[in-house]
Amino acid sequence: MPIIAHSRPTLDQEEVNAVNAVLQSGQLAQGQEVLHFEKAMASMIGVDGAVAVSSGTAALHLALLVLDIGEGDEVAIPSFVCPALLNAIRYVRAVPVLVDINPQSLNMDVHDLRKRLTGKTKAIIVPHMFGLPADIREIAALGIPVIVDCAGSFGTLSVFSFYATKVICTGEGGMITANDVQLLDRIRD
C-alpha cells in the first residue's frame, strides 16, 4: 500500500522558479512579492485586506494586541489546540479560558463556551480542527471579538500560519486578514 505523507507540501517547478525569482531580485523581505501575496490572499478569502507577518504565532499575538487585550483579560480557546494559542495569550499577559470541545467535530463546544464567558472575556480564538468548520456564526453572535484561526472571513480577524505542515505552505510566515482596514493599519504599524 502506498504511504500517504502527513502534511507534506507539494512543490514543483513553478515553486522553484518563484523562489529563484525572489532570490535573484535581492529583495528577501517585504517588497512587491509580499504585497502581491497580501492582495491575493485578501481576494481569495473575500476580505478588504491582509498583512503578512513572520509566523502564525506572530499573527495571533498581533491580533490580540490590536484588540487591546492585555493583563487580566480572558481569551476563550478550545481545550484541544496547539500551544501557539496559549503562547500568544500569555505574551499579552491575558488569561486563557479553556472551553470543552465537541467530541464529534473536535471544535469548540458553543454550549460550554457560553458557560465560561465572564465580563473579563475580551476575545474568542476559534480554530477549525482537522478541516471541520467550527460554528463561527453562533460564536460571533455572542458579541465578543472572534479571532478565527486559519480559515474564513467570519471573525473580527482571521489568522493564518504558512508553516511547512499547513495547507498553504511558504516554509514559514503567517497572515492576518480582516474587513476592518483600521485594525489592519494598526497591525501593519
Catalytic residues: 166
**Pairing label, strands 174-178, 157-161:** antiparallel
Give the CA count within 13 Å in the CB-facing half-sphere of 16.
4
Which amino acid, residue 101? I
List the one residue out of 161, 171, 172, 86 whose CA is nearest residue 125: 86
Q: Locate cell 516554509: which residue?
A: 171
Q: Choose among 185, 154, 151: nearest CA to 167.
A: 151
The sign of the CA dihedral 87, 143, 70, 109 is negative
Q: Say how far apart CA 107 and CA 79 lie, in whole Å.
A: 9
- Buried b or exposed e, range 68-86, using 16+ CB within 10 angstroms: ebeeebbbbbbeebeebbb
Cell 495569550: give the residue.
Answer: 89
